[in-house]
């Protein structure tokens, strides 16, 4: 059982990417019901509360924080094995609030996404510093948009060149795990736009293999943490 | 004389992209002095106030808004022809504050940047709705990362496919100007990382020609607006 919570209040992309655009949240006796992609995957996003996907949520921090609190308190997630929270970029209200509201819960850690250029790595180093300041463990870093194989001639181009060594060098320097690199594949964007699972659509592509290996590494990290905790108890 | 103000408080990329990393803001009798790239281009960013480019600014909305106010009030920009303000994505504190703080000034309008996929266009439609709600004129939309020419075989790939027609269709539907499309060119990322001017480094590239045409269209828009205002006065 997996729950996916989108706390990008002003730019919620999860409903579209999950093929759930136009869905509405239902109120039940036990609170808000998530919208289900499949039986074992429930999703919550501000996108389900808007009358049109083009509606803008023009809210300052406090209102955004209020909704995030409601998502955690009022959604009836049921029994879940994993709660995955998708945040916007940055180190501001959404990030501070989610850490604060979950402070009494056990959080396995953060997965941080970057692209290979220094301009992105610089923002990501700030996010890593944020995690360290608020004592949020870091599971690892994923490098997205890593290289592009021309479909015609098979030549690989670094479209976002890793001028300072990319995520690999940054992870070495900061002593953080690199969970994997996901190559640029136009089908990924298409799948997101159409709300289809890229992993199911193109199961043998290099990007799918990379995604699967990243998922496995995250699961191993979480299992190791839990077994260590059980020993301590 | 051009002034560039970076109001992305938690992810300031302007100092790196302008080749100004490590520069500090100087205090003068008349306020904070911008950092100058060239004599006619002054820049202000929270990045100049940090002791390291990796430092995280972990601030909620009100503190971010306070700094934006200071940037507008306390920086001695001198006489400028254009003040360009770079915002993070979204429709929240930074956007509301900058519109509010400039409400007594004449603002020419917003330039909105997207990529070709529907997932991005959806966020951009929200930003367009934001501009309309706060009565900020929209100069136009720029489509970034529009297509990639393989350097080896010259085949063009749509790396971020415009599955719903890209910025062109969106602009038609919403009756907004499309200012231009900038193709993906790995040299752009390199120039940003190195803090060099892509336009000066590769003056004949298709992306440079696209940038120049976009700049010209923005200038024409502003000049037309100003000449109409003079007539009214």
Largest CA distance in chain A: 58
pLDDT in tens, A77-86: 999 999 999 9
Q: Within this chain, do residues A101 and A112 fall inside the same structural domain, yes or no?
A: no
A122 at interface of B, judged by CB pairs closer than 8 A = yes
CA B1 to chain centre: 17
Q: Within this chain, do residues A97 and A160 fall inside the same structural domain, yes or no?
A: no
Domain boundary among A53, A79, A105: A105
Per-residue pLDDT, B233? 59
How far apart CA A179 and CA A170 sit, in angstroms, is: 13
Per-residue pLDDT, A233? 59
CB proximity under 8 Å: B 81-120 to A: 88-93, 95-96, 117-119
pTM above the 0.80 mark? yes
Domain boundary among B83, B105, B127: B105
Is residue A36's pLDDT more than 90? yes
As a residue count, chain A comes to: 233
Distance of CA B101 to CAs A2, A217, B58, B61, Å? 43, 47, 23, 15
pLDDT in tens, A61-116: 999 999 999 999 999 999 999 999 999 999 999 999 999 999 999 999 999 999 99
A48 at interface of B, judged by CB pairs closer than 8 A = no
Tokens of B177: 């100007």
How far apart CA B128 and CA B122 sit, in angstroms, is: 10
Q: Within this chain, do residues B139 and B177 fall inside the same structural domain, yes or no?
A: yes
CA atoms within 13 A on the CB side of A29: 0
Q: Which of B57, B93, B159 sits opposite A186 (nearest CB)?
A: B159
Tokens of B217: 């269209």
Q: Within this chain, do residues B50 and B135 fall inside the same structural domain, yes or no?
A: no
pLDDT in tens, A180-217: 999 999 999 999 999 999 999 999 999 999 999 999 99
Per-residue pLDDT, B28? 81
Nearest-by-CA chain B residue for A61: B61
ipTM surpassing 0.90 = yes
CB proximity under 8 Å: B 129-168 to A: 129-130, 133-134, 148, 150-153, 155, 157-161, 163-164
Helix (H) or strand (E) holding B183: strand B178-184
Domain boundary among A57, A88, A105: A105
Q: Within this chain, do residues B114 and B146 fall inside the same structural domain, yes or no?
A: yes
Q: Within this chain, do residues B94 and B115 fall inside the same structural domain, yes or no?
A: no
Q: Within this chain, do residues B149 and B225 fall inside the same structural domain, yes or no?
A: yes
CATH of the domain at A32: 3.40.50.300
Q: Which of B16, B56, B163 sits opposite A190 (nearest CB)?
A: B163
Q: Using CA of residue B201, residue B203, residue B204, residue B210, what is the dihedral sign?
A: positive
Q: Within this chain, do residues B22 and B73 fall inside the same structural domain, yes or no?
A: yes
Q: Within this chain, do residues B125 and B171 fall inside the same structural domain, yes or no?
A: yes
> DSSP 3-state helix, strand, coil percentages of chain A (rounded to 5)?
40, 20, 40
Q: Within this chain, do residues A116 and A229 fall inside the same structural domain, yes or no?
A: yes
- Give me the residues of chain B with pLDDT under 70, please: 232-233
How far apart CA B56 and CA A121 sit, in angstroms, is: 13
Q: Within this chain, do residues A136 and A222 fall inside the same structural domain, yes or no?
A: yes
Pairing of β A138-143 and β B178-184: unpaired
Nearest-by-CA chain A residue for B97: A60
Is residue A232's pLDDT more than 80? no
How far apart CA A6 and CA A19 sit, in angstroms, is: 14
What residues make up the domain containing A156?
106-233
Per-residue pLDDT, B30? 87
> B124 phi and psi, to 5 degrees?
-70, -35
Domains: count for chain B: 2
How far apart CA A101 and CA A72 sit, in angstroms, is: 8
CA atoms within 13 A on the CB side of A220: 9
Within 8 A of A17 by CB-CB distance, chain B residues are 119
Helix (H, G, I), strand (E, B) or coil at A171: helix
Q: Within this chain, do residues B231 and B118 fall inside the same structural domain, yes or no?
A: yes
Per-residue pLDDT, B229? 79
């Amino acid at each position: 059982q997996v729950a996916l919570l989108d706390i990008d209040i002003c730019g919620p992309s999860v409903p579209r990417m999950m093929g759930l655009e136009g869905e509405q949240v239902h109120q039940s006796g036990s609170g808000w019901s998530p919208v289900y992609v499949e039986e074992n995957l429930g999703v919550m996003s501000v996108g389900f509360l808007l009358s049109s996907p083009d509606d803008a949520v023009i809210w300052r921090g406090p209102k955004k924080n209020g909704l995030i609190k409601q998502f955690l308190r009022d959604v009836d997630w049921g029994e879940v094995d994993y709660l995955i929270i998708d945040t916007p970029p940055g180190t501001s209200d959404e990030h501070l609030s989610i850490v604060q509201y979950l402070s009494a819960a056990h959080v396995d850690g953060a997965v941080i996404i970057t692209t290979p250029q220094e301009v992105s790595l610089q923002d990501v180093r700030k996010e890593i510093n944020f995690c360290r300041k608020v004592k949020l463990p870091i599971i690892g870093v994923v490098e997205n948009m890593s290289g592009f194989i021309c479909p015609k001639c098979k030549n690989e181009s670094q479209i976002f060149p890793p001028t300072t060594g990319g995520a690999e060098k940054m992870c070495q320097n900061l002593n953080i795990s690199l969970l994997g690199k996901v190559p640029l594949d136009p089908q990924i964007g298409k799948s997101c736009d159409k709300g289809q699972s890229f992993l199911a659509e193109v199961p043998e592509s290099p990007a799918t293999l990379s995604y699967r290996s990243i998922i496995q590494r995250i699961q191993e990290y979480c299992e190791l943490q839990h077994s260590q905790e059980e020993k301590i108890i």
